[in-house]
C-alpha cells in the first residue's frame, strides 16, 4: 500500500482549479439541508441514519459535470463536503435533543426554543470541525496507507468515476422521485395502509411489516447481516417476550403501567404491552450495547488518543507551503475553540454551567480524536457514537448531581452537554472521511474545512425547524416517530438524576444485551430490534434479503459490484425522497391540509383486501429497486446482462 511520502493526488498541488465557488456553496448548502432533514426523519423513525457522502458526491458530479458541462472535480468535492455535514449534524441532534421535547410533554420543563437547538447544533458541529484541524496531518496524511477511511476512499472513487460521465446521478434522482410518490400515496392520500399486522387466535404475539421505501432501503444499504440482527431482536420481543408478559401477567398491575396487564392487552393489543414494558427492556439492551462497544474499543481508543497527540506534536500543524498542505491557521482554530467554549458557558440560551463547558471541551476533543481514528479503521457505520453519548451522559449527569445541579435544570444541562458531544463525534467522523477524499483528489484542506463550517451552520439553522415541525405533526415517542436513541438518553438521565425508572425491566434488557454479546451477536442492532416495533424490523429485513440476493448473483465481480452500487445509490435516493415528503406531510398536518387529501374515508375495503393491496404496493417498491440495479442497462459491456 502506498505511503504518504510517495503519494501523488489526482490533481497535483501545483495545479489550481475551482473549489469554493458560488455554485459549489449553494449546491452544498441545498444538499446539507435536504439530507439533514431526510436523515433526521429517518433517524427518528428507525434509530439509525445513513451516510449522505456518496449520494451527495454523485449528485454534485452529475449536476456540475453533466448538466453544467464543467470539468471541475474539486468543485464537486466541495459540494459533497458541505452536503454531507447535514447528515452528521442531524444524527447527533436527533439522538439526544428530542429528549427535551419528551420532558416538555411530561410537564417537567418548557420546550427548547429553536435558538437553543440551533446554538447547540452549531457549537457541537463547529467544535467537531476545529478539533479535526490539528488532527488532519497526524491521521489523514501521516497514516495514509494505514487508515483506509472506507467512505472517504469510496467517495473519491465515485468522483473519479464521474470524470467518465457522471450518469449515476440519475439513479439517485429516480430513487428520490419514486420514493416520494410511494410515500405520498401511502401516508398522504392514504390509499393503502402503511403497515400490515398478522395475529393468530389464542396467541398474544404479533407479526407484520411496514411497506415504506426508506425503511426497506435501510435494510438494503446495511445488508443482510445487520438486518437479520435487528429482525431477530424484533422476533424475540414481539413473539416471545410480549406473549410471556401476557401469559404470566394476567390481572397483575406492573409498573410503569397502572392498569392490569390483561386489560392493557385487551384494549391495545401487543402494541400496548410493547410501549409500556418491552421498550424499557430494549432501552436496557441498547445501553448495554453502547457501553459494551465502548469497553471493547477502549484499548484502541487509548492507543488512538496517545498516538494522535504524539502525531500532532511532531507534525507541525501550521499551514504548509504546498496548496494541498494548507490548513486553517492553528491560532484561529485555538481562538475559535476558546470562544465556542465560553459560549457554551455564558450564552443564556444554552443551559450549561462552567463545569459543563469544561466537560464539553475535555470529552469533545477526546471523542473527536477517537471518532476520527475509528472511522478511519472500521468506517462511519461502526463508529460507537451512541456509546460515547451514553458515557458522556452518565459522567455529566453524575457530576451535575454531585455539584448540586439537579431536577429539571440538571436534566436539561446533561442533555445539552450530551448533544454537543454527540454532534462533535458525528461531525469529526464525517470531516475525517471528507478530508480523506480531498487528500486523494488533491483538494486544498483549508477550503474543505471552510466547506465543513458552511455545512454545519446551514444544517444547524435548519435542524431546529425540522425538529419542531416533526414534533408538532406527530410528536416524538409516537408510533410515527419512536425517537429510540433520544428516548434512551432521556431514560439514562432520569435514572441517574431521579431514580424513577422501571429498573427491573431495564436490568432484564441489560442482561439480554450481555447474552447477545456472549453469543457473538452484535448488541446494538439486536437491541434496536428489541426496542423498535417488529413491523419496522420486518421491512428492514426485506431490504436485507433483496441485498442478499444481489450479493449472491452468479455474475462477474465487476458486474455484481455495479449492480449492488446502483442499488445503494437508488436506495439512498429513496431515503431522501421519503424523508422530504415526510417533512412536507408534517407541514400539511400542522396547517390542516392532511385531512383534505386523505382519501381513506372514500374507499372502504375489507382488511384482507387492504393487506393484499399493501403487499402489492410493497412488491412494486422492491421491483423498482431491481429495475434500477439488477435490470439497469449499462454502457460498459462488462456490466451488460
Cell of 172: 439517485
Q: List pLDDT tens digits, range 588-613.
A: 888 888 888 888 877 777 888 889 99
Per-residue confidence (pLDDT) for residue 579, from 0 to 100: 83
CA distance 444 to 217: 34
CA distance 587 to 614: 25
From the CA atom positions of the chain, what is the Rg in Å?
Answer: 24
Tell me which H or E stretch contains 236.
helix 224-236
Q: Is the pLDDT confidence value at 101 over 90?
A: yes
Q: Is the pLDDT confidence value at 384 over 70?
A: no
DSSP characters over 405-421: --HHHHHHHHHHHHHHH
- Tell whether 439 is covered by a domain: yes
- Tell whether 95 is covered by a domain: yes
Q: Is the pLDDT confidence value at 69 over 80?
A: no
- Using pLDDT thresholds of 50, 70 and 90, give the confidence band for residue 165: low
336 within 8 A of 348, measured Cβ to Cβ: no
Average pLDDT over residues 145-160: 77
CA distance 457 to 562: 35
CA distance 168 to 179: 17
Residues near 405 by beta carbon (within 8 Å), at least 6 away in sequence = 353, 413
Rounded (10°) CA dihedral 627, 629, 222, 457: -90
Q: What is the DSSP letter of 320?
A: P
Report the residue count for the chain: 641
CA distance 371 to 325: 22
- Tell whether 332 is covered by a domain: yes
Average pLDDT over residues 448-456: 96
- Tell whether 453 is covered by a domain: yes
- Tell whether 5 is covered by a domain: no
54-68, 404-418, 433-447, 589-603 — which is least confidently predicted? 54-68
* Total count of domains within the chain: 1
The dihedral built from the CA positions of residue 233, 235, 239 and 240, taken in this order, carries a sign that is negative
Q: In 3D, which of 92, 30, 60 has the Cα closest to residue 415?
A: 92
The dihedral built from the CA positions of residue 624, 628, 629 and 632, taken in this order, carries a sign that is positive
Q: Is the pLDDT confidence value at 317 over 70?
A: no
CA distance 542 to 231: 10
Average pLDDT over residues 242-258: 89
- Tell whether 249 is covered by a domain: no
CA distance 40 to 470: 9
3-class secondary structure, 640:
coil
Per-residue confidence (pLDDT) for residue 424, from 0 to 100: 92
CA distance 484 to 531: 7
93 within 8 A of 456, measured Cβ to Cβ: no
Pairing type for strands 207-210 and 195-198 reads antiparallel
Please report where in the chains the cell 492553528 appears, as a residue.
330
- Tell whether 264 is covered by a domain: no
Could you give the residue ranges of the DSSP H alpha helices within 5-149?
Answer: 22-46, 53-61, 73-94, 98-105, 114-136
CA distance 177 to 359: 44
Q: In 3D, which of 127, 143, 141 has the Cα closest to residue 88?
A: 127
Q: Is the pLDDT confidence value at 155 over 90?
A: no
Q: List pLDDT tens digits, range 612-637.
A: 999 999 999 999 999 999 887 765 44
425 within 8 A of 368, measured Cβ to Cβ: yes
CA distance 364 to 342: 14
3-class secondary structure, 130:
helix
Average pLDDT over residues 47-75: 75
> Based on the number of CB atoms within 10 Å of its own CB, is 493 exposed (0-12), middle (13-18) or buried (19 or more)?
buried
Q: What is the mean pLDDT of the chain?
A: 84
Which domain does 381 fall in, by range? 22-173+284-489
CA distance 622 to 609: 20
Among 106-110, 160-164, 231-235, 567-571, top mean pLDDT goes to: 231-235
Please report where in the chains the cell 407484520 appears, as a residue.
208
Q: List pLDDT tens digits, range 483-502.
A: 888 887 888 888 888 777 78
223 within 8 A of 540, measured Cβ to Cβ: no
Per-residue confidence (pLDDT) for residue 334, from 0 to 100: 87
More confident: 296 or 471: 471
Q: In 3D, which of 289, 432, 315, 444 has the Cα closest to residue 369?
A: 432
Q: In 3D, which of 93, 69, 57, 1 has the Cα closest to residue 572?
A: 57
Average pLDDT over residues 48-73: 74
Q: What is the DSSP letter of 327?
A: P
Q: Is the pLDDT confidence value at 316 over 50?
A: no
More confident: 577 or 369: 577
495 within 8 A of 501, measured Cβ to Cβ: yes
Q: In 3D, which of 509, 447, 148 has the Cα closest to residue 319?
A: 447
Q: What is the largest CA-CA distance in the chain?
A: 78
Residues near 248 by beta carbon (within 8 Å), at least 6 away in sequence = none
Cell of 511: 442482561
- Tell whether 513 is covered by a domain: no
Q: Other C-beta atoms within 10 Å of 476: how many?
A: 24
Amino acid at each position: 500500500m502506498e505511503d504518504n511520502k510517495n503519494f501523488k493526488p489526482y490533481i497535483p498541488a501545483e495545479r489550481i482549479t475551482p473549489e469554493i465557488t458560488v455554485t459549489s456553496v449553494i449546491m452544498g448548502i441545498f444538499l446539507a439541508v435536504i439530507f439533514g432533514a431526510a436523515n433526521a426523519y429517518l433517524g427518528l423513525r428507525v434509530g439509525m441514519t445513513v451516510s449522505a457522502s456518496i449520494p451527495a458526491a454523485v449528485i454534485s458530479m452529475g449536476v456540475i459535470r453533466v448538466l453544467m458541462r464543467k470539468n471541475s472535480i474539486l468543485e464537486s468535492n466541495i459540494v459533497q463536503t458541505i452536503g454531507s455535514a447535514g447528515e452528521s449534524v442531524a444524527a447527533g441532534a436527533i439522538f439526544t435533543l428530542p429528549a427535551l421535547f419528551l420532558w416538555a410533554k411530561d410537564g417537567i420543563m418548557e420546550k427548547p426554543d429553536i435558538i437553543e437547538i440551533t446554538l447547540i447544533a452549531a457549537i457541537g458541529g463547529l467544535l467537531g470541525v476545529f478539533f479535526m484541524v490539528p488532527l488532519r496531518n497526524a491521521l489523514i496524511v501521516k497514516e495514509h496507507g494505514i487508515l483506509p477511511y472506507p467512505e472517504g476512499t469510496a467517495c473519491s472513487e465515485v468522483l473519479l468515476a464521474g470524470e467518465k460521465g457522471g450518469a449515476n446521478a440519475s439513479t439517485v434522482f429516480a430513487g428520490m422521485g419514486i420514493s416520494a410518490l410511494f410515500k405520498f400515496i401511502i401516508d398522504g392520500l392514504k390509499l393503502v395502509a402503511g403497515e400490515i399486522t398478522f395475529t393468530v387466535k389464542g396467541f398474544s404475539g404479533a407479526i407484520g411489516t411496514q411497506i415504506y421505501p426508506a425503511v426497506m432501503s435501510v435494510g438494503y444499504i446495511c445488508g443482510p447481516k445487520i438486518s437479520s440482527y435487528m429482525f431477530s431482536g424484533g422476533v424475540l420481543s414481539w413473539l416471545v417476550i410480549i406473549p410471556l408478559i401476557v401469559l404470566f401477567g394476567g390481572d397483575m398491575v406492573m409498573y410503569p403501567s397502572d392498569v392490569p396487564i390483561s386489560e392493557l392487552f385487551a384494549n391495545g393489543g401487543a402494541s400496548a404491552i410493547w410501549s409500556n414494558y418491552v421498550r424499557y427492556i430494549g432501552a436496557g439492551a441498547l445501553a448495554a450495547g453502547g457501553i459494551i462497544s465502548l469497553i471493547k474499543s477502549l484499548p484502541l481508543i487509548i492507543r488512538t488518543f496517545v498516538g494522535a497527540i504524539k502525531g500532532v506534536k511532531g507534525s507541525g500543524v501550521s499551514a504548509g507551503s504546498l496548496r494541498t498542505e494548507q490548513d486553517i491557521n492553528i491560532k484561529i482554530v485555538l481562538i475559535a475553540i476558546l470562544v465556542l467554549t465560553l459560549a457554551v458557558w455564558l450564552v443564556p440560551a444554552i443551559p450549561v454551567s462552567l463545569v459543563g463547558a469544561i466537560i464539553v471541551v475535555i470529552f469533545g476533543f477526546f471523542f473527536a480524536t477517537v471518532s476520527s481514528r475509528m472511522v478511519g479503521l472500521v468506517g462511519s457505520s461502526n463508529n460507537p457514537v451512541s456509546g460515547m453519548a451514553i458515557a458522556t451522559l452518565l459522567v455529566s449527569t453524575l457530576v451535575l448531581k454531585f455539584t448540586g445541579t439537579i431536577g429539571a435544570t440538571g436534566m436539561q444541562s446533561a442533555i445539552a452537554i450530551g448533544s454537543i458531544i454527540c454532534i462533535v463525534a458525528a461531525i469529526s467522523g464525517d470531516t475525517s472521511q471528507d478530508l480523506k477524499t480531498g487528500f486523494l483528489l488533491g483538494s486544498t484542506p483549508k477550503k474543505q474545512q471552510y466547506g465543513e463550517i458552511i455545512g454545519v451552520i446551514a444544517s444547524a439553522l435548519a435542524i431546529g425547524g425540522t425538529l419542531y415541525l416533526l414534533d408538532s405533526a406527530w410528536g416524538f415517542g409516537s408510533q410515527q416517530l419512536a425517537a429510540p436513541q433520544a428516548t434512551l438518553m432521556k431514560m439514562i438521565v432520569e435514572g441517574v438524576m431521579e431514580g424513577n425508572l422501571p429498573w427491573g425491566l431495564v436490568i432484564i434488557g441489560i442482561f439480554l444485551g450481555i447474552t447477545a454479546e456472549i453469543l457473538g451477536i452484535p448488541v446494538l442492532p439486536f437491541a434496536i430490534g428489541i426496542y423498535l416495533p417488529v413491523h419496522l424490523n420486518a421491512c428492514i429485513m426485506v431490504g436485507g434479503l433483496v441485498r442478499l440476493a444481489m450479493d449472491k448473483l452468479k455474475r462477474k465481480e465487476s458486474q455484481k459490484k455495479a449492480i449492488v452500487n446502483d442499488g445503494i445509490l437508488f436506495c439512498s435516493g429513496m431515503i431522501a425522497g421519503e424523508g422530504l415528503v415526510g417533512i412536507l406531510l408534517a407541514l400539511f398536518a400542522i396547517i390542516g391540509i392532511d385531512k383534505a387529501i386523505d382519501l381513506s374515508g372514500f374507499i372502504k375495503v375489507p382488511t384482507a383486501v387492504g393487506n393484499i393491496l399493501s403487499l402489492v404496493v410493497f412488491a412494486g417498491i422492491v421491483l423498482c429497486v431491481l429495475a434500477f440495479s439488477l435490470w439497469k442497462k449499462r454502457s460498459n459491456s462488462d456490466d451488460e446482462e
